[in-house]
Amino acid sequence: MPDADTQTRTKPAVLILLGPPGAGKGTQARMLQERFGLVQLSTGDLLRAAVKAETEAGKRAKAAMDSGGLVSDEIVLAILKDRMQEPDVARGVILDGFPRTTGQAEALDALLSEEGKTVAAAISIEVDDDAMVRRVSGRYTCANCGEGYHDEFKQPAKAGVCDKCGGTEFTRRADDNAETVKARLSAYHAQTAPLIAYYEARGVLERVDGMGSIDAIATELGDIVKQATA
Ligand code: ADP
Ligand code: ADP
Ligand code: ZN
């Protein structure tokens, strides 16, 4: 049975999670997906899948991803548009890690306006740079279901066993290393942080303190989502 939040949500909304690497976008997007039936759409996950499958786009994206730079708008937009064609997207989406440049934000607005839609809320999860480095360095993921964990901050209830699926294999991202993190952080400040002003000017920006606990942030985000989709 769908939970109460899924039943009371009225509009299939487009929501954006903004924030530097390690802010908790993926963690929170998964929780919102479960709670509200929104579809998590992570361009990072889509790009990693394309690299793994050695598609043409994946081959072109790999070098930028390995070095911690941004993949070109052209490649990212092509991958995102493809994904947006799939029927589940009609339930409403939570964009995780997209847009990351002003060009991507403008392209998203154009894409949505073709369908008479707009961004319901762009939520900026704000964490300081030191915390971000710690978050990224301790991050690992269940190889089976994708649930995210952390060496210090979010360990499975039973060591070595995924809480969600019972899987026992975990992976760490190749780009979650001290060297690449610096490049990712500067890409965030130079290219993505300006989107905060972009969405503020459109009256849809919400700021959330990303230094709180995972559950406290989830509660705050839940309230924002309910309000934005009422
Ligand atoms: P992002 O998608 O923004 O890069 P993640 O959701 O993958 O970030 O989170 C980065 C790491 O920090 C993960 O290991 C996650 O378990 C952990 N984490 C997420 N949110 C918090 C939080 N509020 N406090 C402490 N650790 C967190
Ligand atoms: P993070 O946890 O750092 O927020 P992501 O999984 O969102 O990481 O992204 C990993 C990498 O994939 C980025 O460093 C970048 O190279 C590429 N990437 C993901 N999303 C985008 C995007 N919207 N535009 C450009 N590059 C992207
Ligand atoms: Zn799992």
Q: Which residue stretches of 41-97 are H helix?
A: 43-52, 56-67, 73-84
* Residue positions annotated with a catalytic role: 25, 100, 139, 173, 184
160 CA to middle of ligand 3, Å? 10
Tell which phi-psi region holds residue 54, choosing left (phi > 0), alpha (psi between -120 and 50) or beta. left
Structure tokens at 189: 């400040």
From CA 82, how far away is CA 189, in angstroms rounded?
28
- pLDDT (0 to 100) of residue 12: 77
Spatial neighbors of 21 by CB under 8 A, at least 6 apart, are 132, 135, 136, 181, 184, 185, 188
Share of the chain above pLDDT 70, in %: 95
Q: Tell me: the pLDDT tens digits for 187-228?
A: 999 999 999 999 999 999 999 999 999 999 999 999 999 999
pLDDT at site 10: 45
pLDDT of residue 4 exceeding 90: no
User: Does residue 169 have a pLDDT over 90?
Assistant: yes
Alpha-carbon Rg for the chain in angstroms: 17
Query: Tens digits of per-residue pLDDT, 58-109?
Result: 999 999 999 999 999 999 999 999 999 999 998 899 999 999 999 999 999 9
User: Whose Cα sits closest to atom 12 in ligand 1?
Assistant: 135
> Listing from the earlier edge strand, what are the strands of the sheet with 39-42?
39-42, 93-96, 14-18, 119-126, 205-209
Region 40-56: mean pLDDT is 96
Q: pLDDT averaged over the chain?
A: 93
Ligand 1 centroid to Cα of residue 68, in Å, is 18
Contact yes or no for 120/204 (Cβ under 8 A): yes
Residues with Cβ within 5 Å of ion ligand 3? 142, 144-145, 147, 162, 164-165, 167
User: Please, which pLDDT band fits residue 179 given cuts at 50, 70 and 90?
Assistant: confident
For residue range 105-163, what is the model confidence (pLDDT) as tens digits? 999 999 999 988 999 999 999 999 999 999 999 999 999 999 999 999 999 999 999 99
Q: Is the pLDDT of residue 6 over 70?
A: no
> In the prediction, which pLDDT does 1 show?
47
Token pair recorded at residue 36: 């509200």
Q: Which of 150, 181, 213 to mutate to test the pocket of ligand 1 (most atoms within 8 A of CB)?
A: 150
Identify the DSSP state of 105: H
**What's the one-letter identity of residue 50?**
A
Distance (Å, rounded) from C-alpha 150 to C-alpha 135? 7
User: Is residue 8 predicted with pLDDT exceeding 70?
Assistant: no
